[in-house]
Amino acid sequence: MSKQTLPMFPAGEGCCAPMAREPLGEDDAAELARMFKALSDPVRLRLLSLIASHEGGEACVCDLTGPFDVSQPTISHHLKVLREAGLVGSERRGTWVYYWAVPAALNRLSGLLQAPVRASVPARSGA
């Protein structure tokens, strides 16, 4: 049962073993790559940070189109990509649609990237 069973985790505690501990399997790598791909665009990264840092933890699309130079359909497209990657959730409430970040997904990626302390390999840093 190495799959995650908890819906949410305390911040700072990843759900999964850091990738530095053991090599990723093909399936895990494929799924994680899809999530990272959603983060691989500057607009999406800013959208996600805008949503996650918005008061109340969620933001209306109307709050998200202003800060960018791209068109409204493009914003909508990027939000869809983030949603399909499982990084944000969304819900229509009356006229507006609200988006929020999914902490479990972010913490999963965060935990995966945590590098271990390697006291035994000091000189390798940098170039």
Partner DNA sequence: CTCTTGTATCGACACCTGTCGATACAAGGC
Partner DNA sequence: GCCTTGTATCGACAGGTGTCGATACAAGAG
How far is 57 from 34, CA to CA, in rounded Å?
24
The CA distance from 103 to 11, in Å, is 8
Q: Residues in the site for DNA, rule: CB under 7 A?
A: 37, 40-41, 43-44, 60-62, 65, 69-81, 90, 92, 94-97
CB of 93 to DNA, least distance (A): 8
Which is nearer to DNA, 20 or 70 (by Cβ)? 70
Return the structure tokens found at 32. Answer: 């994680």
CB closer to a second copy, 65 vs 111 = 111
**56 torsion bin: left (phi>0), alpha (psi -120 to 50), beta (else):** left
Which residues are at the interface with a second copy (CB under 8 A)?
7-8, 10-12, 18-24, 26, 29-30, 32-33, 36-37, 39-46, 48-50, 52-53, 56-58, 67, 89, 91, 100-104, 106-107, 109-118, 120-121, 124-127
Minimum Å distance from CB 99 to DNA? 8
* Beta-bridge mates of residue 88: 101
Q: Which is nearer to DNA, 21 or 37 (CB)?
A: 37
